[in-house]
Amino acid sequence: MIVKALRVGLGQLIIFLDFITRPAKKQRTADAQAQVDQAASGLTLYQFHACPFCVKTRRALRRLNVPVALRDAKNNEQDRQTLLEQGGRIKVPCLRIEENGETTWLYESKAIIDYLDKRFSAA
């Protein structure tokens, strides 16, 4: 019970610190942002709200100004089941990438952020 209370408290602290230290969004022209929005339409991030690695990944999305659909794999049973059945395991963060009719599941915050930086930082 103490461990659970500590975990919940730390989760709330992480969320609060994220909120007060959020990075600024990358500024683009309207046309460039529309291209980014279109490119990001095939991306979905499966995450837990208070997970530090998920927070790190969401911060990168905000910094790059990439709108990605978020799925709660902790509190939404359907999202959790999709992550398990299609992704292969319940591990977050996990970025679902749908491109050219193929679906790729990318785990690990560092790998996801590297992918996002390569794909969207120059845009």
d(C-alpha 31, C-alpha 54), whole Å: 29
32 phi and psi, to 5 degrees? Answer: -65, -40
**Averaged pLDDT of the chain:** 93
Identify the CA nearest to 57 among candidates 18, 110, 7.
110
Taking only the tens place, the pLDDT of each residue in 66-115 is 999 999 999 999 999 999 999 999 999 999 999 999 999 999 999 999 99
Question: What confidence tier does 62 reach under pLDDT thresholds 50, 70, 90?
Answer: very high
Structural domain boundaries of the chain?
31-120
Question: What confidence tier does 123 reach under pLDDT thresholds 50, 70, 90?
Answer: low
Hey, which CATH number is domain 31-120, 3.55.10.10, 3.90.1150.10, 3.40.30.10, 3.40.50.300?
3.40.30.10
Q: Is the pLDDT of residue 57 over 80?
A: yes
